[in-house]
């Protein structure tokens, strides 16, 4: 998922801000999945059965992509707030 899409979703009013702070990852029993940004992103990003299997290389590739994008968002936010981050090396 690209940053622009994520930012657009994050500003979508149907999602409850911070609901993931109370998440136990038992989505199939949660009545708030339609209001949860994490659930929506997970369904979109891990829609392929191969990306849901922890034993599959596709899972780890997708997870790596998400972590790299997350780091880019953190750098962007840190720069905005004048925070210097120490360099981190990703081995992808």
Domain locations in the chain as residue ranges:
3-80
Query: Residue 50: its pLDDT value, please?
Result: 87
Instruction: Tell me, letter by letter, the H, E, C secondary structure of the chain.
Output: CCHHHHHHHHCCCCCCCCHHHHCCCCHHHCCCHHHCHHHHHHHHHCCCHHHHCCCCHHHHHHHHHHHHHHHHHHHHHHHHCCCCCCCCCCCC
Query: Residue 92: its pLDDT value, please?
Result: 65
Query: Residue 90: its pLDDT value, please?
Result: 76
Task: List, for the chain, all residue ranges whose pLDDT scores fall below the cut of 70.
Answer: 88, 92
Query: Residue 29: its pLDDT value, please?
Result: 94
């Amino acid at each position: 998922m690209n940053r622009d899409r994520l930012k657009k979703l994050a500003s979508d009013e149907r999602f409850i801000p911070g609901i993931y702070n109370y998440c136990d990852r038992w989505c199939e029993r949660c009545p708030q999945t339609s209001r949860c940004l994490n659930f929506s992103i997970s369904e979109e990003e891990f829609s392929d059965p191969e990306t849901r299997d922890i034993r599959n290389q596709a899972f780890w590739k997708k997870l790596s992509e998400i972590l790299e994008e997350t780091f880019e968002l953190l750098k962007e936010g840190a720069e905005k707030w004048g925070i210097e981050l120490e360099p981190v090396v990703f081995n992808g």
